[in-house]
């Protein structure tokens, strides 16, 4: 899986590996109506596999992702 959590990076939240792109941010974009093409265009360093892994992580950790989205929208 291309997801990692590193203390001291992106506040220690789950991100796409070797990046600072948090999973909660990608999921937030999906909830606002973005699709994979939109995100791949916005983040050219991402691959379709990264987005699939991010979605899987978000589904498996929905409480965490929901909390982080709410905290960052406040």
Mean pLDDT value across the chain: 92
Tell me how far apart the alpha carbons of residues 44 and 49 are, in angstroms, rounded to a whole number: 13
* Pairwise pLDDT comparison (41 vs 5), residue with the higher score: 41
> Mean of the pLDDT values across residues 11-21?
89
- Domains in the chain, start-ordered, CATH in brackets? 3-73 (1.10.10.10)
- How confident is the model over 47-74, as pLDDT tens digits? 999 999 999 999 999 999 999 999 998 7
pLDDT class of 5 with cuts at 50, 70, 90: confident
What does pTM read for this prediction? Answer: 0.89
Q: What is the chain written as a DSSP string?
A: --EE--TTSGGG--EETTS--BHHHHHHHHHTT--HHHHHHH-TT--HHHHHHHHHHHHHTHHHHHHHHHHHH-
pLDDT at 62: 96
What is the rounded CA–CA span in Å between residue 5 and residue 10?
9
């Amino acid at each position: 899986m291309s997801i990692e959590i590193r203390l001291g990076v992106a506040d220690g939240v789950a991100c796409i590996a070797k990046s600072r792109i948090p999973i909660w941010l990608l999921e937030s974009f999906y909830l606002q109506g973005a699709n994979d093409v939109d995100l791949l265009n916005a983040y050219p360093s991402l691959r379709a596999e990264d987005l699939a892994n991010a979605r899987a992580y978000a589904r498996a950790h929905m409480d965490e992702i929901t909390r982080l989205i709410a905290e960052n929208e406040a």
